[in-house]
Chain A
């Protein structure tokens, strides 16, 4: 009886949407462990985590938009704009720090509102309109800070290296905070509306959901994660640089898709995006520790990503063949 139960539980696990992603995750962790010396020591764990966290948060921001059926090409530049604002306005005083964070929040929500209005209310295709917004953000960031520089109070990077009660690294705490924020929304209407609009917009509309507003809210919720990402980024780099955040845009999309979230929207899970971002981080690690010549790094990385993507969509392919 208990064995049957166990088998049943295993089958249920296998059918779970995150199962293939979790397998890929285990594989990259295993390979990484072989290549990276001292992988299982706390120090390495902490430094890996610290370097993966920005993409994890950026991927959560991207996931919210992709779940509602859009795509956000402005994420990288929105992060940049936030970091530049913080670096340009902060000083060591508590009021200076709060001012910097407040201005960054305001700017990010303005960007989210612009995205939400253009995609939701003007019904522009998000792949183009967010690209345009990305350019707006870059321009604004350059205006604020034509050269890299600015000032980030040392508490940021000191805090980022800290372990609370010497076992809980702050980066992990921030990821958990991100998930908790999503957990809050999970118990609100907006969460279900995001899936409904992404899954079948016409049906959502026919049910009486204000689909435009749902899209706007999705971009605003995404903004919360963008600000979190920016905070982590300045804690790592300690400067502002208008040319810094570009890579987050496409990497976050890749992470989201590897994480099993459908680009068509309405399908997937934010945990998947977190795993996807961690997988990408581990892949970068593997390339680095495999001592490959830097000429090959991007090439190999691209191929591995294609491989991981294929694995992650394998279950859906198989289901289609059966149907």
Chain B
């Protein structure tokens, strides 16, 4: 049974094709995995189906008839509801106000029926987060809670087709399972779902079939009900290349005897927390792992001068540092690739060249006039080093794919020859191919003597490239793993065992 069929959808923005040829069939009561690298067109495609974006060409048929929706509200009336990747919640409104937004229950004479609205909100939210009050303001929620509110809101519209755009990105394993349970319940009620995710294990465990996008085109589909769930096949369909290992993984060089680059002593991230002690050797790649939100990001923020610790000493190359402003860290060669590249890492509406030269402008070595010729040459060199696609310094950063945007964030520091590179979950929302290239660049830097401190929410990433990994729990380092200890199980048990130990 087909619920929806999309044929040859097209869309360009200012001459740049975001989608060239999008095709997909939604089967009744099945979960369709929509796969593809960042910038492959899958977001644009799903926005067309949900009425947010108008296609330049092509056809969508829904329940046998042509679907020509001009806006999201019309799509919702027909039964198509999308949960957006960049959440569509209004922070200043409460949960119940958000959940009934644009579908407010009305009473007599068009007055709002707020008590009914709260009932609806409570009913659907309880599937995910029964502990949350519907009166809480959305701005006070964690990212995972916001995601649940968003999904609960979509469910309250009783959709025939539910589109989930990377809904699991902010969720932890147990929360993902909760979502999957609800998705199975929906399936049983013959709801169709389009599920977008970069995590292969999720795809394999929840999808009935997958459709793969690459460079704005549908390149193929795999039916899990009749074909094998071949991970290598999926990856090569997504990337268009053979699956390959990262060059120079852990243990390929012996960094153990190198000189100490960064020394952290008695560093307390918060008052009343036990302090952290560790050192980073020259050319070493050290990971920071553990459950999410255990102070890993704060540690990086402190080291980059963006946040102040409660107490502690930090020295770089034997020299004590005063980190009262990010410029202090940058001047000493300790630079951050922040977690939210759109907000903290990039000037989205500027071109690649300008983004690459800002750090140099800020460190003040530029003199009275800017030496643009030198900077252009350096930018060209950086673009080559990080393998930016396309290799055009005039390209507006906004129009690059997520992976290439991240390369710009890393690349802008390269001309400063950083001593310590701090990376905060750099591969979040970056596709498989770009992730490998990103980590290739990181390893190359390490070989040239840069020390790297990497926080990643994904254990596999840490195991792939780190020389050793700290496990953090409640703002402290509670365990250290060496390559010989690396296994998913060991990571999970280290994170959890410490959780139990600290929880008495």
Binding site for B on A (CB under 8 A): 187-189, 192-193, 195-196, 199-200, 202-210, 266-267
User: What residue of chain B has the Cβ atom nearest to residue A203's Cβ?
Assistant: B88
Give the chain A neighbours of B104 by CB distance below 8 A: 189, 192
- Contact across chains for A208 and B76 when beta carbons are under 8 A apart: yes
Expressed in whole angstroms, the minimum distance between the Cβ of A295 and any Cβ of chain B is 42
Bound together, the chains give a CA A206 to CA B72 distance in angstroms of 6
Given A187-B111, A188-B112, A195-B93, decide whether A206 and B101 contact each other with a Cβ distance below 8 A.
no
User: What residue of chain B has the Cβ atom nearest to residue A200's Cβ?
Assistant: B90
Give the chain A neighbours of B82 by CB distance below 8 A: 206
Give the chain A neighbours of B88 by CB distance below 8 A: 200, 202-203, 206-207
Give the chain B neighbours of A193 by CB distance below 8 A: 102
Interface string of B75-94 (1 = CB under 8 A from A): 11000001010111111110
- Contact across chains for B112 and A200 when beta carbons are under 8 A apart: no
Bound together, the chains give a CA A203 to CA B97 distance in angstroms of 13
Give the chain A neighbours of B112 by CB distance below 8 A: 187-189, 192
Could you list 6 examples of A-B contacts with CB < 8 Å?
Answer: A189-B112, A195-B93, A204-B101, A206-B52, A206-B72, A207-B88
Expressed in whole angstroms, the minimum distance between the Cβ of B72 and any Cβ of chain A is 4
- Contact across chains for A192 and B52 when beta carbons are under 8 A apart: no
Tell me the chain B residues, 104-157 only, with Cβ under 8 Å from chain A. 104, 106, 110-112
**Top 9 A-B pairs, shortest CB-CB distance:** A208-B73, A206-B88, A203-B88, A199-B90, A208-B72, A207-B102, A208-B102, A199-B92, A200-B90
- Contact across chains for B92 and A192 when beta carbons are under 8 A apart: no
User: What residue of chain A has the Cβ atom nearest to residue B117's Cβ?
Assistant: A192
Total number of B residues with any Cβ neighbor in A under 8 Å: 26
User: What residue of chain B has the Cβ atom nearest to residue A267's Cβ?
Assistant: B92
Question: Does B236 reach chain A (CB closer than 8 Å)?
Answer: no
Bound together, the chains give a CA A209 to CA B98 distance in angstroms of 12
User: What residue of chain B has the Cβ atom nearest to residue A268's Cβ?
Assistant: B92
- Contact across chains for A200 and B101 when beta carbons are under 8 A apart: no
Give the chain A neighbours of B74 by CB distance below 8 A: 208
User: What residue of chain B has the Cβ atom nearest to residue A265's Cβ?
Assistant: B92
Give the chain B neighbours of A202 by CB distance below 8 A: 86, 88
Interface string of B268-282 (1 = CB under 8 A from A): 000000000000000
Question: Does B232 reach chain A (CB closer than 8 Å)?
Answer: no
Give the chain A neighbours of B102 by CB distance below 8 A: 193, 204, 207-209
Bound together, the chains give a CA A205 to CA B70 distance in angstroms of 12
- Chain B interface secondary structure, helix, strand, loop or mixed? loop
Most buried by B among A189, A193, A206: A206
Tell me the chain B residues, 402-448 only, with Cβ under 8 Å from chain A. none
Give the chain A neighbours of B93 by CB distance below 8 A: 192, 195-196, 199
- Contact for A266 among B52, B75, B92, CB less than 8 A: B92
- Contact across chains for A203 and B92 when beta carbons are under 8 A apart: no
Interface string of B182-203 (1 = CB under 8 A from A): 0000000000000000000000
Tell me the chain B residues, 26-78 only, with Cβ under 8 Å from chain A. 52, 71-76
Bound together, the chains give a CA A203 to CA B103 distance in angstroms of 14
User: What residue of chain B has the Cβ atom nearest to residue A197's Cβ?
Assistant: B90
Give the chain A neighbours of B103 by CB distance below 8 A: 208
- Contact across chains for B101 and A209 when beta carbons are under 8 A apart: yes
User: What residue of chain A has the Cβ atom nearest to residue B83's Cβ?
Assistant: A206
- Contact across chains for B72 and A205 when beta carbons are under 8 A apart: yes
Given A208-B72, A266-B90: 13 more A-B contacts, CB < 8 Å: A188-B110, A188-B111, A189-B104, A192-B101, A199-B90, A200-B88, A203-B88, A207-B88, A208-B73, A208-B75, A208-B102, A209-B101, A266-B92
Give the chain B neighbours of A196 by CB distance below 8 A: 90, 93, 101
Expressed in whole angstroms, the minimum distance between the Cβ of B78 and any Cβ of chain A is 12
Expressed in whole angstroms, the minimum distance between the Cβ of A125 and any Cβ of chain B is 16
- Contact across chains for B72 and A203 when beta carbons are under 8 A apart: no
Expressed in whole angstroms, the minimum distance between the Cβ of B49 and any Cβ of chain A is 13
Bound together, the chains give a CA A206 to CA B87 distance in angstroms of 9
Most buried by B among A188, A196, A266: A196
- Contact across chains for A195 and B90 when beta carbons are under 8 A apart: yes
